[in-house]
């Protein structure tokens, strides 16, 4: 049981996620205001990298535990909420919204109906 509890402990807290999202959103807004395609692409990439870091640090946990075979998505609970983080940073995943990199960025050539993370990378 101690090993299971240890696996749930994350290096980061909800407050870390919120603070990082706030800073990234402010910097993304600055890049948009400067009308910098490169700046917006760098911010989208940076936000995506933080989302990957947090997701790797705080994966969902199997609620069944001790069963034979691999865990399925149905038995996983908790973990880092990537979509919520991306929204807090000012990015959307599906569908793209006008405030997202891609839809209003002709240099990107991204479809407004595709995910915006990774755009222009």
Q: SS3 letters for the chain?
A: CHHHHHHHCCCCCHHHHHHHHHHHHHHHHHHHHCCCHHHHHHHHHHHHHHHHHHHHHCCCEECCCCCCCCCCHHHEECCCCHHHHHHHCCCCCCCCCCCCCCCCCCCCCCCCCCCCCCCCC
Per the domain annotation, does 108 fall within a domain? yes
Per the domain annotation, does 76 fall within a domain? yes
Per-residue pLDDT tens digits of the chain, which is 121 residues long:
344 444 456 788 999 999 999 999 998 888 888 888 888 889 999 999 999 999 999 988 888 766 666 777 778 888 899 999 999 998 875 444 344 444 444 434 433 333 344 433 3
* CA–CA gap between residue 9 and residue 98 (Å, rounded): 37
Per the domain annotation, does 89 fall within a domain? yes
108-113, long-range: CB within 8 Å, 24+ apart, which pairs?
108/37, 108/41
* Domains held by the chain: number: 1
Q: What is the pLDDT of residue 49?
A: 94
Containing domain of residue 91, as a range? 13-64+71-121
Per the domain annotation, does 8 fall within a domain? no
* CA–CA gap between residue 2 and residue 50 (Å, rounded): 28
Per the domain annotation, does 4 fall within a domain? no
Per the domain annotation, does 7 fall within a domain? no
Per the domain annotation, does 92 fall within a domain? yes
Per the domain annotation, does 54 fall within a domain? yes
């Amino acid at each position: 049981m101690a090993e299971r509890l240890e696996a749930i402990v994350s290096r980061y807290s909800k407050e870390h996620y919120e603070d990082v999202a706030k800073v990234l959103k402010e910097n993304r807004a600055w890049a948009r205001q400067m009308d910098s395609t490169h700046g917006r692409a760098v911010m989208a990439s940076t936000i995506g990298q933080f989302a990957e870091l947090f997701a790797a640090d705080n994966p969902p946990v199997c609620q069944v535990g001790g069963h034979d075979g691999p865990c399925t998505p149905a038995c996983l609970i908790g973990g880092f909420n990537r979509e919520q983080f991306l929204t807090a940073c000012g990015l959307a995943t599906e569908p793209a919204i006008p405030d997202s990199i891609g839809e209003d960025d002709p240099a990107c050539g991204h479809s407004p109906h595709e995910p915006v993370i990774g755009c222009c990378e």
